[in-house]
Amino acid sequence: MIEPRDFIRAQVVEDLNSGKHKKAITRFPPEPNGYLHIGHAKSICLNFGIAVEAEGECNLRFDDTNPEKESQEYIDAIKQDVEWLGFHWAGAVRYASDYFDVLHDYAVELIKRGKAYVDSQSADEMRANRGTLSEPGKNSPFRERSIEENLDLFARMRAGEFDEGACILRAKIDMSSGNINLRDPAIYRIRKIAHHQTGDKWCIYPMYDYTHPISDALEFITHSLCTLEFEAHRPFYDWLLDALADVLPQPGSVVDVWKRAGAAAGVDDVLPHPQQIEFSRLNVNYTVTSKRKLKQLVDEQLVHGWDDPRMPTISGMRRRGYTPEALRDFCSRVGITKSDGVVDVGMLEFCVREHLENSAPRAMAVLRPLKVVLTNYPEGQVEEISASRHPNLPEMGDRKIPFTREFFIDRADFEEVPPKGYKRLIPGGEVRLRNAYIIKCDEVIKNAAGEITELRCSCDLATLGKNPEDRKVKGVIHWVSAEKGIPAEVRLYDRLFTDAAPDRGDVDFKTFINPQALEVVQAVLEPSLASAQAGERFQFEREGYFAVDSDSQPGKPVFNRTVGLRDSWKPGA
């Protein structure tokens, strides 16, 4: 059941209850000119979420009208991201380019109706005559061309007779409209470039604003959901569908184009006029959500590709270890409104941490190893200690952790001159090794440079799994056997930008790139992690959540830090 928990869902509920629509049909319409980012996740969760909740359908439609910026690589990545988020599109993947023939025929129809003309002004003239927000535009001297002349010129545009920019096809609406989008918007332009789907078939391509409403109508979309910047485009969206209302395919009429669009079952039997509804974009602090800017980071090699775990792309977040559940939870907490705002990235991290807390098995890993030798523990002895994989999920079972005379602890867990309140290991002090014994530091070994290279400790052999009766030992630290542990590269990620609003515009966003966003350490892992597969996620006790990276090789694991353990954001904060 779909609940009216935001104004868009409320509209969908109303339209289903009133009988306006039999079924809600939405679409997610990415342009394949980059990888999807966290902002797209919001749109995906909204469009596909409504289809799931209302038992409707959601199409995946590539909005591919701009061939020079688009590619198959992006198409494949986008499909993978939508599926990974847990959604299924209705029927085949659709492409606006599937409709190029029909879009062309509708343009011819508009010309025949006196609603479109070929303009031969130069780009500069067109710009000058467009007017401004406060001044009306001026009619093109070519605006009153006859229908015959327009049909002829458009046919010759299509045949490749003119150079790029020599002329365009424009809708004939109103050059004095207060809405600049209604001042005879361009609907077709000449681009002599091959298209990733249609090859060399076309040298004219339809504009986005022209393509989108017709594609929606062809697919019988009921609610066309988009971000607020399209609000001012809605009058043209409606103008165009009204101008073509009687020739758009009718439900029930098995016309060729309808078959091509792949009509959804159970659609309405009234004239299709999808309703465009706008909602606010997702903005996240410390983050850039613009494909163009993310592409710059990739092209200028400031990150290692679109799926670099520092990137706010869906593929980057996946590689970093974020879960689809966490992203869906985040989008649901953000909600759908009409007011622009900035969401705290801490909320996203909170959602990731919360999902992993309840799903990721525990393990021990020492990120910055410091060697410890237990002087009173027999050489060569190996004790297999059993520990649960998850404290609250006994069904995950146990793992075996080998305990040996030599092991590593984290450098941060020992201080010669401890700060006040320090509860970990200090010279002469005691600490509990997690899942194992209490140890005491007897001697600190240093090299010639004065750096600590090793600790000599003794262990209280009566403290495995129980506390001593005569004293309280407060601190607990983690460890990994030096003999049995496995070396691994661990990539520690931090936020990609140092400024909360890197994208604010007055300064180049790249000046705010955080040089510390990636730190690589050589860590040692407990041996149970040897068989972990790319994509698997763990909580490294006392450190945070980590995921196996796709760069891992057999015997050479690479882990990414997904998120640390500490909360910086709490619900309601």
Site residues (vs ligand ATP, CB under 6 A): 29-31, 39-40, 42-43, 226-227, 281-282, 289-292
- Paired with 156 in beta bridges are none
Q: Shortest CA distance to 526 belongs to which of 360, 387, 423?
A: 387
- CA 260, 263, 268, 274 dihedral sign is negative
* Residue 45 CB contacts under 8 Å (≥ 6 apart), including other chains: 85, 327, 328, 331, 332
What is the rounded CA–CA span in Å between residue 272 and residue 222?
8
Task: CB nearer to ligand ATP: give 338 or 446.
Answer: 338
Q: How far is the CB of 283 from ligand ATP (least distance, A)?
A: 7
Q: How far is the CB of 229 from ligand ATP (least distance, A)?
A: 8
The backbone torsions φ and ψ at residue 490, rounded to the nearest 5 degrees and listed phi first, read -120, 130
Q: How far is the CB of 96 from ligand ATP (least distance, A)?
A: 11
Residue nearest to ligand ATP (CB): 39
* End-to-end Cα distance, the chain: 30
Q: How far is the CB of 292 from ligand ATP (least distance, A)?
A: 6
Which two tokens mark 109?
A: 């129809």
What is the rounded CA–CA span in Å between residue 310 and residue 305?
10
Task: CB nearer to ligand ATP: give 39 or 502.
Answer: 39
Q: How far is the CB of 279 from ligand ATP (least distance, A)?
A: 7
CB 291 within 8 A of CB 51: no
Task: CB nearer to ligand ATP: give 185 or 361.
Answer: 185
Does residue 291 carry a catalytic annotation? yes
Task: CB nearer to ligand ATP: give 60 or 459.
Answer: 60
Three-state secondary-structure class, residue 156: helix
Task: CB nearer to ligand ATP: give 226 or 431.
Answer: 226
CB 474 within 8 A of CB 423: yes
Choose the catalytic residue: 69, 138, 281, 432. Answer: 281
What is the rounded CA–CA span in Å between residue 302 and residue 4?
43
- Paired with 445 in beta bridges are 454
Choose the catalytic residue: 23, 31, 115, 406. Answer: 31
Task: CB nearer to ligand ATP: give 26 or 140.
Answer: 26
What is the rounded CA–CA span in Å between residue 349 and residue 570?
10
Q: How far is the CB of 31 from ligand ATP (least distance, A)?
A: 4
Which two tokens mark 352?
A: 């990731």
CB 305 within 8 A of CB 298: yes
* Residue 544 CB contacts under 8 Å (≥ 6 apart), including other chains: 561, 562, 563, 564, 565
What is the rounded CA–CA span in Å between residue 258 and residue 214?
12
Q: How far is the CB of 91 from ligand ATP (least distance, A)?
A: 19
Task: CB nearer to ligand ATP: give 243 or 334.
Answer: 334
User: What one-character-per-residue DSSP string does 46-109 give?
Assistant: HHHHHHHHTT-EEEEEE----GGG--HHHHHHHHHHHHHTT---SSS-EEGGGGHHHHHHHHHH
CB 540 within 8 A of CB 555: no
Q: How far is the CB of 311 from ligand ATP (least distance, A)?
A: 12
Does residue 504 carry a catalytic annotation? no
How long is the chain? 573
Q: How far is the CB of 81 from ligand ATP (least distance, A)?
A: 12
CB 374 within 8 A of CB 406: yes
Q: Around Cβ 137, how many Cβ atoms within 10 Å?
A: 19
Does residue 424 carry a catalytic annotation? no
CB 178 within 8 A of CB 76: no
What is the rounded CA–CA span in Å between residue 425 and residue 416?
9
Choose the catalytic residue: 291, 320, 399, 491. Answer: 291
Active-site residue set: 31, 281, 291
